A and B are shown apart, each in its own frame.
Chain A
Amino acid sequence: MNGAEYLVKFFENKGVDYIFGYPGGKVIFLYDVLGKSSLKHVLTRHEQGAVHAADGYARVTGKPGVCIATSGPGATNLVTGIANAYLDSVPLIAVTGQVGLSDIGRDSFQEADIMGITMPITKHSYMVKEQDQLPAIMEEAWNVAVTGRPGPVLVDIPSDIFMGSVDFSAVPKRLSSRKAPSKNGLEEQLAKVIAVLSRAKKPLIMAGGGIISGQAWDQLEQFVKHTRIPVVTTLMGKGAVSEKQKGALGMVGMHGIPAANLALSSCDLLLGLGVRFSDRVTGKPQQFLTDTTIIHVDIDPAELSKNVKTEIPVVSDAGKFLTELLKKLKQDKIVFKLDEWWAELQEWQKKYGLVYEKEPCVKPQHIIEEAARAAGEKAIVVTDVGQHQMFTAQYYPIGGVRNFVTSGGLGTMGFGLPAAIGASFGRPGETVLLFTGDGSFQMNVQELATLSQHNLPVKIFIMNNSCLGMVRQWQELFYDKHYAQTIFNYNPDFVSLAGAYGIKAFKITQPNEVTPAIAQALRIPGPVLVDCVVDQEENVLPIIPPGGKPNEMLGRWRGETHISRIG
């Protein structure tokens, strides 16, 4: 068996069904073998498309995404996608071809040190330097990607390794298992958690992406049902609790739901579950909730006390923690008296709703709300990055886990289209809604070819404001309306563009077209693109100005026309 055959067999054994990739000189041999196997390969039109597609696939399935690229430019084109997966803890295996062993280090044609380049943005990067190491490295790479806090792993394989034969009898043992397991102090920490939790008058749960990657949503639901402790989510935690469930206050952060942010700034005890206290949530970390007791539960010890000081750090899987905690709370018959806290929260929910006007021009919020009504909370929702992303996070209630796909940590424009394609392969037959902007969409627009070729049911809504809306908004609010390089004076005709790729498309410019357009997009099978011409001047509100605390939101409150600080 040669290296390429081994690799294909390895992926088959791991239950991989789709691989996303792009061939090139140093992976021809691998593709020759791959093409004769049962694995289905999706040819994207750019390596960045492949890695984002693998990422989208992983997010909606929970299984690692797999992508392949050739050496040099093929490999470097993966870099943004790998960093994207790393910051959002998405399990990914990136296989890159490398120049032959004897050519390494000579600046050979299409040579780049992709292992060195990706080391800071992967859980680990490997280069296979000896034929016999291939099996051990692949096994280890897979394990690293999926265990603990998931993340991307890169395996760089020189071309001769694909061709050489793999001798299984001489497999050397990799030694990273020598790492001593960290001691589990869950029992001790639980006692402390119960002590502070039972005293809390205003407890709050902040649920993050760790609830989803740790498959702890059922445990969270049970915990919330039993204790009635309110829940806010981070952007990555959207879907961790059904947002229509009682007790869910919505997303916190720079553009969070006002009641959720107020809850965050007023709670006396914060239970962070699978969150990393990103600056989009905390503002200046030194000023974040200085009077609040913070319990932080994470599977990754390095997250604890990284950004904010934590009174009770707990290294644990979120599900296990919640199960154990709930068991102890029931044993000790601890009940929470939260009526006053809930009254306060409900008051905020009533007082500070999100507002926008549906007239005289089309508003992105309107499209998202209508799409949510028509497609329902169980649809797979994918976003790009920018204003439309925040509007989607605010206005689309996500009802199921792994149904919301967004580039949270890295904020990668151009992520949306390929991620939607990957998501569609991961959950065949389900409708995928992609909300994007005219800026983001053009960053990986070539993937329309992949979409069209596979006739996937991805409904694309371009919030077309002829500008880079989020940066424009900052320029309006914080740079004296100096719109430097954010207004697109030229945009293609997106309807004709989609037409050139054989994708049905139409354009809307009036508010009364919104509802029928969405219905039509959902009715037509296969991919559809809707070019929605929206208000250029619409801003995402509320906004916490840079460095502000969670309660320092600017917004329009109770139908006022001007923007003011809350309160």
Chain B
Amino acid sequence: MDLLSQTIQYAVSGVTGGSIYAVIGICWSLVYLITRVLNFATGEFVMLGGMLTWAFSSMGFGILPSAFLAVACTVAISMLLERLVIRPIRLPTEMTYMMITIASASVIKGLVLLQWGSESRRIEPFFGTGVIHILGAGVTPQVICVVVLMALITFGLHLFLNHTLLGTALRASAVNLTGARLIGIDIGRFRLFCFGLAGGLGAITGIVTAPITFTGYEIGLLTGLKGLVAAIAGGWSMAGTVVAGLALGLLEGFGAGFIASGLKDVFALVVMILFLIVRTITIPGIKRRT
């Protein structure tokens, strides 16, 4: 394998990972912008999507019905989390929000471990196991499916947020919560809706990636955290998150390929910390965006 095909191979895996991080990042920012909650259970929704699909399909359902059931269950869990856990907090500060979502994440993770054990699970690829060769690099149909689906989701969300009344109302509440409430937007329902949407998107991501990277009870936290990196680096905007997610994925792909695959997860986190530090540096004469 020469350098060119190697590079293409890493780029392909980078774009696959990056598109996933972008969608997960959008899940984080959907919830964060409306509710001001950083939902650390986002990654667990990704894990739940994959694990529930595996569980339903091993119960004898077909792949499509079980994927559908898994998404529905995850949406329900996500909405219940908002309604029963996050909304009743008595002292809602950033600290309590974060503690309670981290606690919920560990509960979800532990319950999945108890129910289905610690083995990695695999879902059969949707379009067979053939390999398409492009310039010496192998691309499976599943990879193409992931990238296309993620692009469709992002495009659909873009249309929804910018060209429907509900989407416009969502954007309005993200900009100014009090103002949105004053013109008659029901924030409580929107919070529920955002959690549901984030849960559903997370679950879909988890399902389509499960044939490539396998799924298991412990994948949630790190996958979710990388989505958070994309969201933070993208400045919580959708276009920014997509660009940051793809860049992150490519960095991870090349870093894992050319430097050390064991440290794959470290690169993203180091980038996050460096990015956060660089954000705080103010250069005299240049006005910072707030």
A and B interact physically: no
Binding site for A on B (CB under 8 A): none
